[in-house]
Structure 1
Amino acid sequence: MSADEPVAADIAIADARLRRIPSLARQALLLTAVEGFSEEDAGRIIGRDAATVHGLIDEAMAEIDRQTRARILIIEDEPIIAMDIEMIVRDLGHEVVAVATTHSEAVAEAQTHKPGLVLADIQLADNSSGIEAVQEILADVKVPVIFITAFPERLLTGDRPEPAFLLTKPYQPATLRAAIAQVLFFDESTVPA
């Protein structure tokens, strides 16, 4: 696989998602989000007022949210952190299928629910490894993973499971939201047919 292949795949996924957005809403979104035009300037370009452009952007974002809605497995042994992550996930419109606190529980929940995204800690309640749990899950289900950990060095060995992303604790809720959105936007398994 060449270095350009993952980029080409990401472009194809983004293109497929964007094609599902009505043309005028897509134009408004791309003019403001990608090209950096204000809503007023975008309105002049597409022949609409700023309020209409704002509505079109909302329509485009709602369609992207609909396309990327996922069933999420949280693997986290700290109850307060698990509740915070669960609240963020639900606020984004996703479904939390389970919260697992141990390796064996995580694997069993993944086999039962076939999640679209896994959010995992590295050190689990029974001193088991979230990394090993994720490796076992990935052997059974192709799913993107975001590790959320206070021990990022444990993932920086070159042997981490793929596909995986990393956020360090303490995380910022906005960073977690952005990571979830980005991972799901570029995940080919959630692209509608």
Structure 2
Amino acid sequence: MSLGQQLAPHLPFLRRYGRALTGSQTHGDAYVRATLEAIVAAPDEFPRDVDPRLALYRMFQGIWNSTNLDQGGDEGGGDDAESIARARLARMTPMSRQALLLTAMEGFTPEDTAYLIETDADEVDELVAEALREIENQTRARVLIIEDEPIIAMDIETIVRDLGHEVTGVAVTRDEAVALAMEDRPGLVLADIQLADDSSGIDAVKDILGEFRVPVIFITAFPERLLTGERPEPTFLITKPFQRSTVKAAIAQALFFDETTVPAA
């Protein structure tokens, strides 16, 4: 099997990580492209002594660390949301954010994460704890949940409330989601893709974003369909079935890049 064939199944999830890390589909996907270009340009430098997925993320980390655009490079620097994010980075180091996303969202072990960010497993545990402390002190939001499966909706609602956020409503159809959003504007939307009446959570979100700006996290059992890099796609994505830690990390990152988020008291 060629190297390209080995890496292809992992690219959607690397896009998910890149988008979550940068808060942008455009910027995250650009890092993924740069990673692939680096592999094509110097295939002998691709790590062959570890699992291909781990090696792919290691190459991505090398690109990320070498450009360090997340802290004010020339990637559009004047944008308000990015300015807010850079200000928050002064209180949460980039490495702690990476450790949290790599473990909670991407599912790497502390040992694998240590390899990716070039530290040791004990330090990874400390970095994740640091990131979680910062999150708990940093953001509170009012959340609209769009989910037609009652058990999953209740699970998400419990997680959201336990994190200290307020739930403005739970919608099961596109029309209901839009109506709830217009009635009580949320500061964050968590949306399933397929809804009860065969309507689309994506269409519901498009309708909502047509009225006002709000960060969105999509929830889907088929993430590969929304992580192609070929069209406008979600920046933040949770894969079903999900872990509590995954939802927490995704919410934290979505709010991290949102300039309207109110810091916790």
Report if TM-score (shorter chain) is over 0.5: yes
- Return closer, same or farther for 1:12/1:152 CA change in 2, 3 Å cut-off: same
Q: Does 1:118 align with 2:118?
A: no
- Count the aligned residue pairs: 161
List gaps (5 residues or longer) in structure 1. Answer: 20-25, 37-56
- Return closer, same or farther for 1:112/1:160 CA change in 2, 3 Å cut-off: farther
Match of 1:135 among 206, 230, 245: 206
Q: What residue identity is the alignment partner of 2:209?
A: L
Q: Does 1:171 align with 2:242?
A: yes
Q: Which residue of 2 aligns with 1:71?
A: 142
Q: By how many angstroms is 1:182 displaced?
A: 1.2
Three-state SS of the structure 2 residue aligned to 1:141 is coil
Q: By how many angstroms is 1:172 displaced?
A: 1.5
- Render the CA deviation track for 1:3-22: whole Å, top value 9, x for unaligned: 71269766631343467xxx
Please give the root-mean-square deviation of Cα atoms over the aligned residues, in Å: 3.5
Q: By how many angstroms is 1:65 displaced?
A: 3.5
Q: Does 1:81 align with 2:152?
A: yes
Three-state SS of the structure 1 residue aligned to 2:248 is helix
- Return closer, same or farther for 1:137/1:173 CA change in 2, 3 Å cut-off: same
The separation in 2 between residues aligned to 1:6 and 1:148, in whole angstroms, is 30
Q: What residue identity is the alignment partner of 2:218?
A: F
Q: Does 1:94 align with 2:178?
A: no
Q: Does 1:145 align with 2:145?
A: no
Q: Which residue of 1 aligns with 2:36?
A: none
The separation in 2 between residues aligned to 1:154 and 1:141, in whole angstroms, is 26
Q: By how many angstroms is 1:113 displaced?
A: 1.2
Q: Which residue of 1 aligns with 2:257?
A: 186
Q: By how many angstroms is 1:61 displaced?
A: 3.7
- Return closer, same or farther for 1:124/1:33 CA change in 2, 3 Å cut-off: closer
Q: By how many angstroms is 1:108 displaced?
A: 0.4
List gaps (5 residues or longer) in structure 2. Answer: 1-25, 28-73, 100-128
Q: By how many angstroms is 1:82 displaced?
A: 0.3
- Return closer, same or farther for 1:131/1:33 CA change in 2, 3 Å cut-off: closer
Under a length normalisation based on structure 2, what TM-score does the superposition of the two structures give?
0.52
Contact 1:72/1:98, CA 8 A, preserved across alignment = yes
Three-state SS of the structure 2 residue aligned to 1:132 is helix
Q: By how many angstroms is 1:185 displaced?
A: 1.5
Q: Which residue of 2 aligns with 1:52?
A: none
Q: By how many angstroms is 1:67 displaced?
A: 4.1
The separation in 1 between residues aligned to 2:140 and 2:152, in whole angstroms, is 22
The separation in 2 between residues aligned to 1:91 and 1:165, in whole angstroms, is 20
Structure of greater relative contact order (alpha carbons < 8 Å, 6+ residues apart): 2
Q: What residue identity is the alignment partner of 1:89?
A: V
Match of 1:13 among 84, 88, 98: 84
Q: What residue identity is the alignment partner of 2:201?
A: G
